[in-house]
Every structure is written in structure tokens, then in C-alpha cells.
Amino acid sequence: MSTSFRLGKIYGIPFYLHYTWFLILALVVISLSQEYFPALYPGWPSHLHWVTGAVASLLFFASLLAHELSHSLVSLHYGIPVRSITLFIFGGVARISREAGSPKEELLMAAAGPLTSLFLGGLFLGMEYIISSLNEPLAALFSWLMQVNFLLAAFNLIPGFPLDGGRIFRALIWKLTGRYKTATNIAAMLGQLISWMFILGGVFLALFTLNWLSGLWLVFIGFFLLHAVSLSKRHSLLQERLAGITAENVMNRHIVSVPFQLTLGDLIRDYMDVIRAGPLLVVDGERIRGIITASNIRSVPERLWAITPVIAVMTPIARFSAAYPQEDILSLWEKLEASRLKVLPVLHEGRVLGLITREDLRRFLG
Ligand SMILES: [Zn+2]
């Protein structure tokens, strides 16, 4: 999440803006205020071009948000938690914690976004119709929003997995074959084919019509999509293989606790084999103070081991990102990768049930 900026929460789902989004927002505002609106309405004063451009861009952003949110609300309806929504260049990515449980769920989850965009397009069309004879800037604003929402629906309905259209396609194949894996493979193949069509189409456009910018843009979308296809395919298949494996299955329950006053010298003398095997919990009676690992110990020169207490070198428990017992393995992996500490304590009602290290996860992830 370090490349994104947290915006807030809607329905309990954290929303992020990818930093590239600010660049895109600026480009959209500039191209609307300096090119699109001035070309159509040269008579407007310059500040009106800017205001309309800025409002249009923000409402475009709100339309994207509505699109992503609709996907997420259908997921939540089927009991699939949505971890986050990130908006970036081509729209957004809603990160759900598992794949749909049935073709019907997948179909409705995928279709919700384009349907919302179509609905918004229709809404702005109606508003433009009503306001057209009354207020030109508002009519121009609604007209542009109508077009982008219809475009958004059309782009997302391209049947290249992992676009919404590709997910709808996968749901249909899944329904037909009854096999999720086969459906994912076929949808990914079509996704790759469509990506290459974008790339070749862009190359042809650039070479034969000398329309370099549009050509490059298509090539860029093609490569972006190609990358997204392989990533989504891997993620889908991994998620299916790992379905139902949670922190409880993965964690190491045999936690050894040591008192916080113990010196490193005593720790090494008494717990050498335990430290080699994994992290230890540092406690103060019932209270958990932190976690100590072999690398913590190595950070202290050997001559100081006899006088250094464990508490001085351990990592305080509050600095770890915690896992909960039912957390799925992919989420654990992401948390561990995001955390610099490489140990995840599994917490339940203030107690540490187990510890998870990268080695524990690797046994399952293969
Ligand atoms: Zn979508």
C-alpha cells in the first residue's frame, strides 16, 4: 500500500488513491479546461473552462468510485470481505479476500460495475436533456460525464480477463464446464489474445495512419492488460488452491516464552536450539512485551551479551502487524511482505495463539 494514499472508508472498506491517480486527475483537468471545453465552447470565459473542467474531473472520479463500490457491495452481499479499493489509471481495483463461490456470484459481482456505469451514463444523459436549454455549462458537463461513463462501461465490458467483461466470460465458462480452473485458463487465454490485439492494433495505427499518440496509447493499454492477465490468473488459481487455509493452520503453536529480564547470555545458553528454530515471546508474567529473534541477538556484540537483558533488544509487540486466527493465507502473506519484521503474531482476545514466519507460509505456498 506504500504506493497509495488512504482516502477514507465507505461501508467499512478502506479506499486508497494510487499516486498515479493525482497525475491522471491533473491531466484530465488540464485537457478538459485547455482543450475539450474551449474547442466546443470558445465563447466561454477562461475561468468557466477551468471550473467546468475541475468539476467534471471530480465527478468522473466519483463515477469511478461508484463503479468499484458496486462490485464491492455485491461481494459483501455474498459474504466475501473486501479488503480495500484502490483507484488508479484505468479505474480501480477492488481487492476481495477470496474468489466468488459460484458462477452466479462471479457473474453478478462482475456485472455490477458496468451496469452502474451504464446507469450513470443514462442518468447524465437525462440530466443533459433536461438542462440543455437552460444552462450551457451544466449541459456540457453532463454530456461529457455521460460519454465517459458509457466509455467506462464499454471498456470494462471487453471480454479480456481480468476486466469485468472477462470475468463475466469466465463465469459463463465456469457455469458451462462446472470447472473453475478450466474457466480461469480459458478466460486468461482470451485475455492474452485481446491484449495482443491492443498491442498490434496500436502498432498498425502508429505505422499506417501515423497516429503515433493513439497507437502508443493502445500499445500501453495492451501491455498493461497482458500483465494484469497473468497476475490475475496466478492469483485466482493460487486462491483456489489455498481456499480454507487460515492462520490457525499455518501458525506455529509451540511458542516458547522467556522473561523480559533474562540476559542474552542466559538466553543463548538455555534456549539455543529454540532460537535457531524461530522467534520467542518475551513476557512479563502474564503480559506480552515483545518478540525476540536470532537477528535481534546478532545485532548486539557478543561481549555485551552477559549484561544485556532481552527486553533491550526485542521488538515491542505493538510494532508487529497482527493476524487473526481465521485470516486467510494470502492475506497473511501480504501482511508479512508489507511488514519489515517478518513475524506475524496471531492474536485472539489479547493472547498470542501462535507465531507465523515466512518459512511457515512457504510450506503452504510452495
Ligand atoms: Zn469494474
Reported confidence tier of residue 364, pLDDT bands at 50, 70, 90: confident
| Integer Cα distance of 250 and 363 in angstroms | 9
Mean pLDDT of 228-248: 82
Distance (angstroms) between ligand 1 centre and the Cα of 351 equals 40
Task: Specify the pLDDT at position 2.
Answer: 59
Burial status of residue 261 (CB atoms within 10 A of its CB: 0-12, 13-18, 19 or more): exposed
| Integer Cα distance of 254 and 250 in angstroms | 12
Distance (angstroms) between ligand 1 centre and the Cα of 214 equals 23
Distance (angstroms) between ligand 1 centre and the Cα of 69 equals 9
Task: Specify the pLDDT at position 61.
Answer: 87
* Closest to 72 in 3D by CA, of 102, 116, 104: 116
Distance (angstroms) between ligand 1 centre and the Cα of 67 equals 6
Average pLDDT of the residues of the chain: 86
Distance (angstroms) between ligand 1 centre and the Cα of 2 equals 23
Q: Residue 243 above 80 pLDDT?
A: no
Distance (angstroms) between ligand 1 centre and the Cα of 87 equals 11
Reported confidence tier of residue 224, pLDDT bands at 50, 70, 90: confident
Q: Are 112 and 74 in contact (CB under 8 A)?
A: yes
Q: Are 323 and 338 in contact (CB under 8 A)?
A: no
Q: Residue 261 above 50 pLDDT?
A: yes
Q: Residue 227 above 80 pLDDT?
A: yes
Distance (angstroms) between ligand 1 centre and the Cα of 43 equals 37
Higher pLDDT, 18 or 142: 142
Higher pLDDT, 341 or 304: 304
Residues in the chain: 366
| Integer Cα distance of 252 and 357 in angstroms | 8
* Closest to 117 in 3D by CA, of 86, 75, 148: 148
- H/E stretch holding 122 reads helix 103-131
Distance (angstroms) between ligand 1 centre and the Cα of 156 equals 6
Q: Residue 91 above 70 pLDDT?
A: no
Distance (angstroms) between ligand 1 centre and the Cα of 114 equals 6
Higher pLDDT, 111 or 327: 111
Q: Residue 26 above 70 pLDDT?
A: yes
- H/E stretch holding 365 reads helix 358-365
Distance (angstroms) between ligand 1 centre and the Cα of 71 equals 7
Distance (angstroms) between ligand 1 centre and the Cα of 100 equals 15
Distance (angstroms) between ligand 1 centre and the Cα of 68 equals 6
Distance (angstroms) between ligand 1 centre and the Cα of 229 equals 15
Task: Specify the pLDDT at position 214.
Answer: 83
85-89, 112-116, 147-151, 225-229: segment of lowest average pLDDT: 85-89
Task: Specify the pLDDT at position 89.
Answer: 58
pLDDT tens-digit profile of 121-132?
A: 999 999 999 998
Q: Residue 153 above 90 pLDDT?
A: yes
Q: Calculate ∠ Cα 24-30-34, nearest 5°.
A: 155
Task: Specify the pLDDT at position 209.
Answer: 86
Mean pLDDT of 325-349: 82
Distance (angstroms) between ligand 1 centre and the Cα of 93 equals 8
For CA atoms 165, 162, 244, 348, the dihedral sign is negative
Mean pLDDT of 207-235: 85
Q: Are 40 and 24 in contact (CB under 8 A)?
A: no
| Integer Cα distance of 313 and 265 in angstroms | 13
pLDDT tens-digit profile of 33-43?
A: 988 898 888 88
Residues contacting residue 359 through CB under 8 Å, at least 6 positions apart: 278
Q: Are 344 and 356 in contact (CB under 8 A)?
A: yes
Higher pLDDT, 93 or 167: 167
167-176, 248-257, 336-345: segment of lowest average pLDDT: 336-345
pLDDT tens-digit profile of 180-200?
A: 889 999 999 999 999 999 999
Task: Specify the pLDDT at position 10.
Answer: 79
Q: Residue 1 above 60 pLDDT?
A: no
Q: Where on the phi/psi map is residue 341: left (φ > 0), alpha (ψ -120 to 50), or beta?
A: alpha
Distance (angstroms) between ligand 1 centre and the Cα of 53 equals 24
CA dihedral 145, 148, 154, 159 (to 10 degrees): -130
CA dihedral 302, 303, 306, 307 (to 10 degrees): -110
